[in-house]
Structure formats: C-alpha cells, structure tokens
Amino acid sequence: MSFVEYGDTIKDGDTAIVFLGHESMFPVKVQHGTVTQTKYGVIRHSTDLIGKKYGSKVTCSKGGWVFILHPTPELWTMNLPHRTQILYSTDISIITMMLELKPGSIVCESGTGSGSLSHALIRTVAPTGHLYTVEFHQQRAEKAREEFREHGVEHLVTVTNQDVCKNGFGVSNIADAVFLDIPSPWEAIGHAKSALKAEGGRICSFSPCIEQVQRTCLAMEEYGFTEINTLEILLRVYNVRTISLQIPDLGKAAEDNSSTGFDSSNPSSQGSPCSNLQQGAVQFKSSVPLREMVGHTGYLTFATKS
C-alpha cells in the first residue's frame, strides 16, 4: 500500500479508511488477529479485510456494513490524527496550483505539523520529485517519519528536525517551491531564497493574522521577491432542499378576459396559459447557504524569486 501508488488488494500492514458515511469515517492499520469496533459491530482484520479488494463492502458482526477505501491525501486530511492545526483541501488545492508543482518538482516545507499538506505535496511531485520538510518539534518530526514509512512514501520525503529560521532547510539552490507555515515566516525568507533554484522559484507563506502577512511581504520585498500577492480562500457550502409554493389565484378566466381585452373569438388566444391557470402548489429545488460555516482559516501569500 502506498499513498502514491494504488493497490487493488488489502494487505497486512496497510493503512485503510473505514467508511461508514460521508460524515463518518476513520483510518485503521490492518493487522493479522486484530479487530476494529464500529457502531455496526466488529470488523475482523484476518477474515474481513486481508485479501479483500479496496472498495469492498464489509458486513460487521451486528449485520451492518461499511466500505473499506484505499487511502488518498484527501481522505487522510479528513481522518488524520491532529498533532497541530492542519491545512484542508480548500487551501491545499490553491497552494499546489499557485506553486506550479508537478511530477519531478523539488519542494521545501516548514513546518511538517500533522502532515496534511505533506501527503498532498508528495503525491503531486511523485514519482521523481522530492519533499524536504522541516519540523521544529522533535516528537512531531519522529511521528511524521513513522507515518511516511507506513504509507510507503519515505523514499520521496526527507524529514529534518531543526529550526528553519536559524538553520534553514539543509539544501541550497535546488527547490522549485518553498512553503512556510510557521509563527514568524519573515525570519525564514532568507533561507527560503537560498533553498530555491537560481531563478523563477515560487514561495508561499500561510499565516492566520494580517500583521504576520504585512511583515512577511516586507521581508519578501527586501530579499528581492516579485509578484507578491495575498489570497484568502473561503469555503461556502449550500444546503439544497425541496420547497413548495402556492400558485397565486389570479381570478377567473372570464374576469381576466374582460380586464385585459382578451378576445375569446380569436383562435390565436385559445389555450392561453392564463386560461388554464388553477390555484394549487408547485415544488422545486432551492439552495441556501448554511447558517454556520467555516470562515477565515488563514492568508496565503505567494511570490516569485527574481
């Protein structure tokens, strides 16, 4: 099993996603002799999972059933264990596009955190690219290495435990893109410039506060970055529902004829919509935004090394 290479069959040691519904799913590490409890009953790994195809419908001990899905960066973002706040697919999608990432790209990232963005970056640059990710916190760095190894992507990523603001990324003049998600990104702009290739490399900084954005933009200008711009991505979800409205009573057809000059002797007037309109109700689909929504998450500042 690998997050960048699809496999058909569930194997011992795989990470799989147990799908109970769109709002209910969780990851599980498949192991011989292990069982997983769900609200529909027990899933026995040896008999219910190992050897079955991904996407299979598995019946639990209470008679309910679940689907077992192959992991992807998108599913992992929704189900990963949170060690820090994470980036979600709304921001991740614009980051990968604006950094112009593709298979073979070299990317530097700080900090690694829970690895939500890291998995998406690895999938984007595979199979010939590489991710250099720096994490200040030692235990988070060790946990990230363990997850990358379990997910079959350790050959595409190098995890370093150090302070990027003091020691940089550990590489020079090779990166196509740099991503910063740290409290003081302006202190790492110089190291980011050193890590980027000689010309045309892209940088992105994620910050929740506009004051951080202002200081980061000033640092980017100081180090000669161009095309500096800041975006805020908001996700707005709509609730689709069926509603019923009464058709208005516009009066009898005869009254409408006399008041509007309707000529019943005129053949072209026969079958007019007004003559067939009857009081009743009509149903149709309508959509309204949810009363509560996830608003501001952070600002994304992009720039180009000139």
Residue 263 known to bind ligand: no
Q: How far is CA 164 from CA 112, 113, 183, in A?
A: 11, 13, 11
Q: Quick one: pLDDT band at residue 259, thresholds 50, 70, 90?
A: low
Question: What are the residue ranges spanned by the domains of the chain?
Answer: 9-71, 75-234+296-305
pLDDT tens-place string over residues 88-134: 999 999 999 999 999 999 999 999 999 999 999 999 999 999 999 99
Which of 83, 40, 36 is CA-nearest to residue 63?
40
Q: Quick one: pLDDT band at residue 273, thresholds 50, 70, 90?
A: very low
Q: What is the mean pLDDT of residues 134-139?
A: 96
pLDDT tens-place string over residues 61-98: 998 999 999 999 999 999 999 999 999 999 999 999 99
Q: Options 3.40.50.150, 3.40.1160.10, 1.10.1330.10, 3.40.50.300; which CATH number does 75-234+296-305 get?
A: 3.40.50.150
Domain 9-71 class, CATH top level: alpha beta
Q: What is the pLDDT of residue 279?
A: 55
Report the share of the chain in percent with pLDDT over 70: 91
Q: What is the pLDDT of residue 277?
A: 45
Residue 117 known to bind ligand: yes
Residue 116 known to bind ligand: yes
- The DSSP letter of residue 247 is P
pTM of the model: 0.84
Residue 114 known to bind ligand: yes
Residue 181 known to bind ligand: yes
Residue 7 known to bind ligand: no
Compute the CA torsion angle 29, 35, 37, 42 (nearest 10 deg). 130
* N-terminal to C-terminal alpha carbon distance within the chain: 41
